[in-house]
Amino acid sequence: MKVNVSPHFQIEDLPLLLKKTKVGVFPSFAEGFGLAIVEQLALGIPVVAFDIPGPSDILKPIENSLIVPVGDINAMIERLNSLLSLSEEDYWKLAVKCIERAHDFKNEKIANQFIEIYKS
């Protein structure tokens, strides 16, 4: 299995990088809202993250195992390995769940929810 890590890249290279991506990792210890997570989910890319507010709220409804204890690098590596080892069928089932979850964060849906909260 070949793993490439791209910690730095030119913004114009991002579409090609994401096209080749099978799993994402979001190793933040403090994040309010993981927009990068939602963007990857919209492309059907499962993401593993630490159990912190924001990423946890986004990922737990897809599958609890996408969240690992804060700072537990070994758990993160194990989960990434397990995702990379999924059968093609199981991977695509998870990818569909990711895409469906990303739909919950579309601007028009969030805007309508905000308006309803504001009215109440």
- Domain 19-119 of CATH type 3.40.50.2000: yes
> 26 forms bridges with which residues in the sheet?
49
Taking residues 79-107, report their average pLDDT: 94
Domain residue extents for the chain: 19-119
Confidence label for 108 from pLDDT (cuts 50, 70 and 90): confident
Distance CA 117, CA 79 (A): 37
- pLDDT at position 66 is 97
Q: What pTM was estimated for this model as a whole? A: 0.84
pLDDT at residue number 1: 64
Q: Which residue shows structure tokens 């995702």?
A: 83
Tens of pLDDT along 49-80? 999 999 999 999 999 999 999 999 999 999 99
